[in-house]
Amino acid sequence: MIDFDKYYDQKELIKLTQDLIKIPSHKDVPNREKEVVDFIYRFCKENELEVELQDVDGARKNVLVYLRGTGNGKTLMFNGHTDTVPPYNMTIDPFKAEVKDGYIWGRGASDMKGPIASMLISMLAIKRSGIKLKGDIIFAGVLGEEEQSEGTEMLVKSGIKADGCIVGEPSNYEYAIGHRGLEWIEIKVKGKAAHGGVPNLGINAISKAAKLILKIEEEIYPKLKERFNEYMGPSVMNFGRIEGGSQPSTVADWCSIILDRRYIPGEDVESVFREYQDVIDALKEEDPDFDAELIRMEENFLTLDHLYLMTDPKDPIVLSTKNAIRKVTGREPEITRRRGWTDAALLSNFAKIPTVVTGPGNIAYSHTKDERVEIKHLIDYVDVYGKIAMEFCGVE
């Protein structure tokens, strides 16, 4: 195994992370990820890495970087998203990328511009070392993961091929081989408007929605508690938003309930919706004035379902990941079961690429008002990614 820190300067890694953070790439920025993708493209060109842009949506593009092997080994993909969530009400300068207390601070530091920097520097270190891998490395810098995963969806539809993939979401030296599928569901409860002085002439959709929420808690919650997967935890749901009516003096003729549903193996999109429809149908039988409609929210995905991730624990990409983290940290890595939905599920289910999620940083800092990534994590993950590549791709 090579000593990766001989082939790059830690200041180079810190500066690359800072440069990426300093470029806003959230949904409220014109052209969204374009500027940061252009920066990555230039960085790779300047460092003599093979790089190309992939059209996705107008000026918005994926950036693909290649480190070619001899053609005798497995192909490894590194996947990282170039967009971030907006800065919201951050308590630090979101784009200053200040170095303080052993961390780099700013929006995207951990989710996931820091991981992208570690992936790219790892590829550079391998290239500079002169070692010839048997298989190829492909870095895919994808857009839109924080919205509809348009970038990875395009990657999948383009026919991308690899034998294993690492999605670099912050993992605190843990790794994930499974996470739950995700559905956002709206339930529109219908009522009948009437003057507040004669409410008996109307049908109050808010009151009906309250009954529905209680019924879901009574009927569905107990079932979810019985469902558990070893690699992704329990099946869960959350009521995220409710609104309805027009004003205090009018009987509410509508009410909208929006919920988040995370499902596991043994469940699918159809079964998830069927459970809620069964509750609605039961209420309709009990109450002839009750009426509600289930709506699958399109904001959650583009065209590919956000299914769960489940990678075989014995797959070579899993074994290479475990071995690499163990060698760098000196301890057996743990599987995280707290992972939210990621692009790994698209790569696994639709591109048929066994995928593991692991990256520098702590997910507890993602999307926060003081987001940051520990510099030691970035350095260690250059080593982790390099060791994964050497074991998985093979060395001549």
Position 200 confidence tier, pLDDT thresholds 50, 70, 90: very high
Whole-number pLDDT of residue 2: 82
Domain count, the chain: 2
pLDDT tens digit sequence for 302-331? 999 999 999 999 999 999 999 999 999 999
pLDDT tens digit sequence for 168-199? 999 999 999 999 999 999 999 999 999 999 99
Using only C-alpha atoms, what is the Rg of the chain? 24
Nearest alpha carbon to residue 181 among 111, 267, 241, 85: 267
Q: Answer yes or no: do 10 and 88 share one domain.
A: yes
Quote the tokens at residue 121. 């520097």
Whole-number pLDDT of residue 338: 78
Nearest alpha carbon to residue 111 among 291, 363, 345: 363
Whole-number pLDDT of residue 66: 98
Q: Is the pLDDT of residue 386 over 90?
A: yes
Whole-number pLDDT of residue 282: 97
Whole-number pLDDT of residue 328: 97
Instruction: Return mean pLDDT, the chain.
Output: 97
Q: Answer yes or no: do 223 and 157 share one domain.
A: no
Contact call for residues 352 and 309 (beta carbons, < 8 A)? no
CATH number at residue 98: 3.40.630.10
Peptide bond into 112 cis (omega under 30): yes
Q: What percent of the chain has pLDDT over 70?
A: 100
Domain end, chosen from 267, 300, 333, is at 300
Query: Domain span at residue 22?
Result: 4-179+308-393
Q: Is the pLDDT of residue 254 over 80?
A: yes
Q: Is the pLDDT of residue 1 over 80?
A: no
Q: Is the pLDDT of residue 364 over 80?
A: yes
Q: Answer yes or no: do 342 and 211 share one domain.
A: no
Q: Answer yes or no: do 274 and 312 share one domain.
A: no
SS3 for 185?
Answer: strand
Q: What is the pTM for the complete model shown?
A: 0.95
Q: Is the pLDDT of residue 240 over 80?
A: yes
Position 144 confidence tier, pLDDT thresholds 50, 70, 90: very high
Position 125 confidence tier, pLDDT thresholds 50, 70, 90: very high
Position 212 confidence tier, pLDDT thresholds 50, 70, 90: very high
Q: Answer yes or no: do 323 and 284 share one domain.
A: no
Domain end, chosen from 246, 278, 300, is at 300
Q: Is the pLDDT of residue 350 over 80?
A: yes
Whole-number pLDDT of residue 300: 87
Whole-number pLDDT of residue 238: 98
Q: How would DSSP label each residue in 145-175? A: TTTT-HHHHHHHHTT---SEEEE----TT-B
Token pair 């995370």 is at which residue? 262
Q: Answer yes or no: do 185 and 156 share one domain.
A: no
What are the beta bridge partners of residue 141? 63, 80
Q: Is the pLDDT of residue 374 over 80?
A: yes
Nearest alpha carbon to residue 182 among 364, 345, 336, 359: 345
Q: Answer yes or no: do 12 and 63 share one domain.
A: yes
Q: Answer yes or no: do 18 and 142 share one domain.
A: yes
Nearest alpha carbon to residue 266 among 220, 225, 306, 235: 235
Contact call for residues 85 and 97 (beta carbons, < 8 A)? no
Mean local confidence (pLDDT), 104-129? 98
Q: Answer yes or no: do 51 and 173 share one domain.
A: yes
pLDDT tens digit sequence for 42-88? 999 999 999 999 999 999 999 999 999 999 999 999 999 999 999 99
CATH number at residue 237: 3.30.70.360
Q: Answer yes or no: do 112 and 201 share one domain.
A: no
Q: Answer yes or no: do 123 and 31 share one domain.
A: yes
Q: Answer yes or no: do 24 and 152 share one domain.
A: yes
- For 245, 253, 343, the CA distances from 187, given in Å and listed in that order, are 15, 14, 26
Q: How much helix, strand and coil, in percent to the nearest 5, is found in the chain?
A: 35, 25, 40
Whole-number pLDDT of residue 41: 98
Whole-number pLDDT of residue 299: 87
